[in-house]
Amino acid sequence: MQSFELIRPESVKDAIGAQSERSAYIGGGTTLVDLMKLGVMQPDHVVDTNRLGLDEIEVLDDGRLKIGARVSNSRLATDARVERDYPVLSQALLSGASTGLRNMATTAGNVMQRTRCPYFRDPAKPCNKREPGTGCSAMDGINRNHAVLGTSEHCIATHPSDMCVAMAAIGATVVVEGRKGTREIPFEDFHLLPGDHPEREHDLRSDELITHVVLDAPLEGAVSTYLKLRDRASYEFALASCAAIVTLEGTKVTAARIALGGVATKPWRAVDAEAALVGEDATAKMFEQVALLAFQRAIPLEHNAFKVELGQQAIARALRDAVQQASQGEHQ
Amino acid sequence: MSETLNTQKPRIDGALKLSGGADYTADINLDGQLYGYPVGSAIASGELEGLELEEALGMPGVVDIFHHDNFDSTLKHSPNSFAEKNTVSEPRLPFEDTTIHYHGQYIALVVADTFEHARAAAQNVKGKYRANDQVTSQLDELDADNVAGLPGVLQEGDGQSRGEADAAYENAEVTLDHHYSIATETHAAMELHASTATWSGDHLTVYESTQGVVFQRHALSHVFSMPPEQINVISHFIGSGFGGKLFMWPHAIMTAVASRRLKRPVKTVVPRQSVFTSAGSRPRSMQRVRLGARADGTLTSIRHDGSNETAFVGMHNDTVISATPSMYACENVAVTNRVGEVNHGMPCPMRAPGEAPGLFALETAMDELAWQLEMDPVELRKKNFAERDPASDLPWSSNHLIECWDNAAKRFGWENRTAEIGAMREGDEIIGYGMASQSWEAMRLQCSARVTFLADGRLQVSCGTQDIGTGTYTIVAQTASELSGVPIEDIDVRLGDSSLPSGPLSGGSFATATVLPAVKAALDAATQALIDKVTQDGQAFSDVDSESIELNDRALTYGDRSIPVTTLLEELGIGQVTAEASAEPGDEKNDYSFRSFGAVFVEVRWDPGISRLKVERIVSTIDIGRAINPMTARNQVEGGLVMGLGMALFEQTEYDKSGYLYNANLADYIVPVHADIPPIDVELLDYPDYHLNAFGARGVGEIGLTGIAAAISNAVYHATGKRIRDLPISIERLLMAN
Amino acid sequence: MTEYFDPKTQGGATSKSRRNFLKTVGASGVAAASTPLWAQTTQARAAETPEGDPVKASAPAPGMSRIQLNVNGVERTVDVAPQMVLLDVLRNELGLTGTKKGCDQGQCGACTVLVNGQAINSCLSLAISHQSDEITTIEGLERDGELHPVQQAFWEHDAFQCGYCTSGQIMSAVAVLNDDRIGQSDAAVREAMSGNICRCGAYKNILAAVQDARKTMKGGV
């Protein structure tokens, strides 16, 4: 880890003012300190967000939930309103990392979490995301943990967050503050596909700071679940995960939100699957059918082809488990 | 015996370990100490053409950078001999030449005033390489019939082949021929390897996280051309090693050289990535097993041809066939192992070397044979139980394997098994039962120890072995207490220091059987020294035949006369009486074959809808002779089972096509965590093996890790019908298998 | 040669540890006491003066910042560079080597300490950001020479082997037992403790120790 100067602003305005080309914001540090130790991120200035407040969770008048950037993963997961109105988010958060890391990690930090691709994490290896134009080591290397959806010829790195998958399903807005004022970015637009520029990971301008994430109002009467599949039972990133939210009228699906983790380059909304499910009977067979749709455009590689089937299984089971709650009267 | 032996004793070093007071190597800070930080090669094969050092040398706090061009040219190779106790892990000296043999090979050591400065500078040392086009990242060709023309070096089966295995196979009523493989695994002990070196004149002291202070002392003695007496290696507490810390690694030499050159203590804590690349692994192995049997299950032929990868920098034969000749009564057995070189870091023994990988193949093959024969797998094994060791044709010193099978089966509820594949279900899950035999050779070596009676009534026991977490401190204290009558809380045990009487490596499950007889010998010698004094003219027992005097309850006694040891020392005006003695095995190896045995039963749950496999419970019954401390012994077996769960389901050190070690960290190298752990039921049988030593103990560190991977794979087959012969049994293997 | 045997310099297992054990093992009345010794706040140790913080009388060196930490109830002052993480400051600057480094990357949990009562991975936490925080390390759990119930339970259940992950396991366990958001079932404890890897595989005994300590503590810290 190279030396840097720590700037500890007391206001969002000062924090934005302190931002520069060679600076980085720090929240809990679970991503940044890790990557600084590895030499992957080497900011000259680190701007500490821990004196900025931004640690409230509040219900807005329109029923949405406004989450401060610095709210920790632990607190968000166990917030009574989140547990009641967004259990899928609570489950997703608690499936991520470990107790200690969740105590440190912040909401904004998790949104900004960077890929776990080992080639990205080693400055000695070519990586288009870390050093544009150097090539992608994973493409012809080991790509078991890599994405099958949303990839490009330049990058197949997976977005690692569980929280973001739940947020993608729930629907959310990322509120950012910059020198030109406040901007609200729809969650699905916040993270960018790698395309020709895998180094661009999000729609955040260089002077902007995430101040809040606002969750859409909960769907009336919805049931949901977050299912995470991985090698060991805990403390591991997803090989495939699914956040599923559905509403039902009798046996018919009236609304569906399906988001995927572990299989895509960004928190992945399976819109084709959602569309196909609405209006259909909530049956295991139907869930399997829509799960196939979600991976229609998947591009598997040497080691990650299994993720297509695993991801389909995650969708079908998550939908089934969610719907089972409805039949058991466990509405969210 | 006894009040103290074979009883559950909380560890005597418990308070130190539980309160942060135990001094592991990296916890020791010396005045004026500098910090070393290694730089590893970015490529796996090629030439190091140069280093960019200028920027790093100019960074704050940097004192020096060591590398090929400025390293110590007077160093010599250790002879690397186990018999002479100077084995090293990697024979090549650090920076010896500019050829790169593996990813992560040390190319420089940065030394700075603080850890942070050393790390920052190390990140700015860049190698200039000429990479070879050809990288041998893996050597699948090793897995074949061990015929001429294959790569690698054929290791014959130690003369243990017998009969006509091939002919018997051809004539067998039932045959089986399968290939198995096991991924490279890494020890991944929680404690990072670490070394602190300090010189005082021509005397070198090294604080090292090592499973063998004596071996490291001797190895350093050869490397630095110094008499061993001028070197001391200290390792009071070790954050375990599992074999990865048995023998010295290059970081220790780099650190000692830096300390000598800079005339200050230097501490190097090896970063986790370098522990993966440059401090050992269990090498990838491939095995072919051919079994021939009669229709009633009687084995008529076992042919086990193994292979393992080694590094270009050194030869490591992982002997995956080691247990096979002794496992079952079979007249025709042939075993071989082939070793070939790849561009990986040096492999080394990892917990239960040979047996853990070998029994995965053999015990999975036995399960497959049972299915072919439509026999209960327990019955098949019983049918082939070896009444004496068929390899050596010697009687077993003690063998209760049948009781292990029976007890474990009963505790597990094996009789509830529905043999049909996939027939047992609960909800989304399919239940599978599997079992395997466990085995590990029991060994005993020469050992010295010292016992000192102190004037304050305490007893000090010293031995140049180590406690790597197995509980050696505690069983030495238990033994000394038992034999001397001194309460265990008044016994001080000193281990982990090469200046103490020479003790064994902490490995191979032989430390207990080796050390305790030496403790007894030293105590007897010290007692005799007391008796010699008390029978001198003018002393309490001057009128007594010294052979009739006994040490009882901290006093020398003769009939109803008694003198406390403390009183004697006070009267003599001396602070202590001390004696050193050695103990070594006799010729019992000519009369008996020594092995430990066990049986392990596993239930798995397979949820095919989400490809989720979990181990639901594990039952194991173990025959290790006598457990000196059943509490710590059971913990060893449980730990072995947990490591075996990882071996079966998760663990693989992954090298990509360029030889790059892809998952050199604890997030991507998957080991079991709390949430993976099922209920584990371990039963220790208690049949003391007095042929091996007077304490009846055979050792317990390895056996838990044998057989478990096969039991899991056999249970997976029972649940899924998928026979996964390659470890780990990963999600994709389960998904893709038919 | 009857010198006192000091484990820190000579290695080995000592009388001190043994006496401690007897004292604490024998203290079966601890759980029944209305105000258990171990339930007192961390300030109980404030009277203990550290041997001297590595801070000069002069101003911090260039690039260094002076911070105050309350470590195990003791106010400590230390000069830190921005890139120094809490783990290294505890170990290298404050001499509290009970907290261990297993990976330095948030991947093992050996470095777990409590910050204001919450378990965190000290290897990923910049020390400079902990001004005025209350930090509890493994060295801060004992009270008046008695082990904390979690330490005690770890001993009685042999919930460790090599001992290297143990500090982190214990600190996580203390946090788990004090967090009423975490369930009390074995499964809940296993999940909550999964960030603490034990390569020796003493997980079964660790779980037993945590559940046993829960009974002893009866809601106390």
Co-location of B580 and B709 in the same domain:
no
Q: Is the pLDDT of residue C50 over 70?
A: no
A98:C176 CB<8 A: no
Mutate to test the interface with A, among C66, C83, C167 (most CBs of A within 10 A): C83
DSSP state of B674: G
Q: Is the pLDDT of residue C1 over 60?
A: no
Q: Is the pLDDT of residue B516 over 80?
A: yes
Q: Is the pLDDT of residue B223 over 60?
A: yes
* Closest in B19, B456, B636 to C139, CB measured: B19
Measured CA to CA, the distance from residue B133 to residue B299 in angstroms comes to 48
Co-location of B608 and B555 in the same domain:
no
pLDDT of residue B142: 87
Mean pLDDT value of segment B458-479: 98
Co-location of B577 and B633 in the same domain:
no
Please state the ipTM of this predicted complex. 0.97
Beta bridge partners of B441: B595
Q: Is the pLDDT of residue B343 over 90?
A: yes
DSSP letter for each residue of B94-137: TTSSSEE-STT-EEEEEEESSHHHHHHHHHT-EEEEEE-S----
A36:C124 CB<8 A: no
- Of B255, B278, B301, the last residue of a domain is B278
Evaluate whether residue B9 is within a structural domain: no
More confident residue, B406 or A325: B406
Whether chain B has a CB inside 8 Å of the CB on C218: the answer is no
C194:A50 CB<8 A: no
pLDDT of residue C158: 98
Structural domains of chain C in order of their starting residue, each with its CATH number: 44-140 (3.10.20.30)
**Nearest-CA distance from B466 to chain C in Å?**
9
**Nearest-CA distance from A80 to chain B in Å?**
25
Verify cis geometry, omega within 30 degrees of 0, for the bond prior to B2.
yes
**Phi–psi pair at C40, nearest 5 degrees:** -70, 160
Measured CA to CA, the distance from residue B592 to residue B575 in angstroms comes to 44
CB proximity list for B386: less than 8 A, separation 6 or greater:
B326, B327, B328, B329
Co-location of B311 and B271 in the same domain:
no
- Half-sphere exposure (Cβ direction) of B688: Cα atoms closer than 13 Å: 10
Measured CA to CA, the distance from residue C107 to residue C123 in angstroms comes to 10
Co-location of B68 and B212 in the same domain:
yes
* Closest in C5, C102, C142 to B19, CB measured: C142
pLDDT of residue B151: 66
High-pLDDT (> 70) share of chain B, %: 98
Q: Give pLDDT tens digits for B539-557.
A: 999 999 999 999 999 999 9
Active-site residue numbers of B?
702
Find the CATH number of the domain harbouring B127: 3.30.365.10
Co-location of B510 and B655 in the same domain:
no
Q: Count, in order, helices (H) and strands (E) of chain B.
A: 17, 30
Q: Give pLDDT tens digits for A10-33.
A: 999 999 999 998 999 999 999 999
Tokens at B604, concatenated: 């798995």
Domain A223-327 has CATH 3.30.200.20: no
- Name the residue range of residue B106's domain: 32-133+191-239+245-278
A101:C121 CB<8 A: yes
More confident residue, B3 or B116: B116
pLDDT of residue B738: 72
Whether chain B has a CB inside 8 Å of the CB on C127: the answer is no
pLDDT of residue C145: 87
* Closest in C63, C124, C172 to A99, CB measured: C172
The 3-state DSSP class for residue B534 equals helix
Whether chain A has a CB inside 8 Å of the CB on C41: the answer is no
Rg (CA), chain A: 19
pLDDT of residue C219: 55
B731:A231 CB<8 A: yes
Q: H-type helices in chain C, by residue range?
A: 7-10, 15-26, 86-88, 149-156, 166-177, 186-192, 203-217
Q: H-type helices in C12-115, by residue range?
A: 15-26, 86-88
Query: For residue A36, what is the nearest residue in chain C, using CA coordinates?
Result: C83
Measured CA to CA, the distance from residue C186 to residue C206 in angstroms comes to 11
Q: Give pLDDT tens digits for B97-130.
A: 999 999 999 999 999 999 999 999 999 999 999 9
C105 contact residues in A (CB cutoff 8 A): 34, 37-38
Q: Is the pLDDT of residue C30 over 50?
A: no
What tens-digit pLDDT sequence spans chain A (332 residues)?
Answer: 999 999 999 999 999 999 998 999 999 999 999 999 999 999 999 999 999 999 999 999 999 999 999 999 999 999 999 999 999 999 999 999 999 999 999 999 999 999 999 999 999 999 999 999 999 999 999 999 999 999 999 999 999 999 999 999 999 999 999 999 999 999 999 999 999 999 999 999 989 999 999 999 999 999 999 999 999 999 999 999 999 999 999 999 999 999 999 999 999 999 999 999 999 999 999 999 999 999 999 999 999 999 999 999 999 999 999 999 988 865 54
C5:B13 CB<8 A: no
Measured CA to CA, the distance from residue B510 to residue B441 in angstroms comes to 9
**Nearest-CA distance from B272 to chain A in Å?**
11
Mutate to test the interface with C, among A36, A47, A99 (most CBs of C within 10 A): A99
* Closest in B123, B668, B735 to A118, CB measured: B668
High-pLDDT (> 90) share of chain B, %: 95
Mean pLDDT, chain B, whole residue set: 96
- In the numeric block, the tokens 């900025």 are attached to A52
Evaluate whether residue B20 is within a structural domain: no
Angle at B369 between CA B368 and CA B373, to 5 degrees: 120
Evaluate whether residue B404 is within a structural domain: yes
Whether chain A has a CB inside 8 Å of the CB on C86: the answer is no
Mean pLDDT value of segment B242-268: 98
Co-location of B375 and B453 in the same domain:
no
A1:C196 CB<8 A: no
Rg (CA), chain C: 18
In order of B206, B387, B442, B599, B625, the CA distances from B397 in angstroms are 40, 11, 10, 18, 10
Residues B129, B660 contacting (CB under 8 angstroms): no
Q: Is the pLDDT of residue C40 over 50?
A: no
* Closest in C119, C129, C191 to A50, CB measured: C129
Give the start-to-end residue ranges of the domains of chain A: 5-45, 223-327
Q: H-type helices in B424-505, by residue range?
A: 472-484
Query: For residue C81, what is the nearest residue in chain B, using CA coordinates?
Result: B116
Q: Considering its fold, how many domains does chain B have in total? A: 3
Co-location of B708 and B642 in the same domain:
yes
B717-731 b/e (C-beta count within 10 Å ≥ 16 → b): bbbbebbbbbbbbbb
Edge-first strand order for the sheet with A209-215 is: A57-59, A65-68, A209-215, A172-178, A181-186
Q: Is the pLDDT of residue B174 over 80?
A: yes
Co-location of B410 and B302 in the same domain:
yes
Measured CA to CA, the distance from residue A141 to residue A135 in angstroms comes to 12
Predicted confidence band of residue B263 (pLDDT cuts 50, 70, 90): very high
**Phi–psi pair at A115, nearest 5 degrees:** -60, 155
Mean pLDDT value of segment B382-391: 97
Mean pLDDT, chain A, whole residue set: 97
Tokens at B645, concatenated: 């769960």
Whether chain B has a CB inside 8 Å of the CB on A235: the answer is yes
Co-location of B433 and B494 in the same domain:
no
Q: Give pLDDT tens digits for B175-219.
A: 999 999 999 999 999 999 999 999 999 999 999 999 999 999 999
A229:B611 CB<8 A: yes
Measured CA to CA, the distance from residue C53 to residue C96 in angstroms comes to 12
Amino acid at B94: P
Edge-first strand order for the sheet with B550-552 is: B550-552, B555-558, B561-564
Predicted confidence band of residue B674 (pLDDT cuts 50, 70, 90): very high
pLDDT of residue B161: 87
- Half-sphere exposure (Cβ direction) of A173: Cα atoms closer than 13 Å: 13
pLDDT of residue C56: 61
Residues B712, B415 contacting (CB under 8 angstroms): no
pLDDT of residue B606: 98
Co-location of B298 and B424 in the same domain:
yes
Evaluate whether residue B49 is within a structural domain: yes
Q: Give pLDDT tens digits for C112-132.
A: 999 999 999 999 999 999 999
Tell me which residue of B442, B174, B431 sits closest to B299, measured CA to CA.
Answer: B174
pLDDT of residue C31: 25
**Nearest-CA distance from C34 to chain B in Å?**
25
Evaluate whether residue B10 is within a structural domain: no
Structural element, H or E, at residue B195: strand B194-200
Evaluate whether residue B531 is within a structural domain: yes
A315 contact residues in B (CB cutoff 8 A): none
Evaluate whether residue B479 is within a structural domain: yes
Q: Is the pLDDT of residue C23 over 70?
A: no
Evaluate whether residue B296 is within a structural domain: yes
Q: H-type helices in C132-184, by residue range?
A: 149-156, 166-177
Co-location of B516 and B635 in the same domain:
no
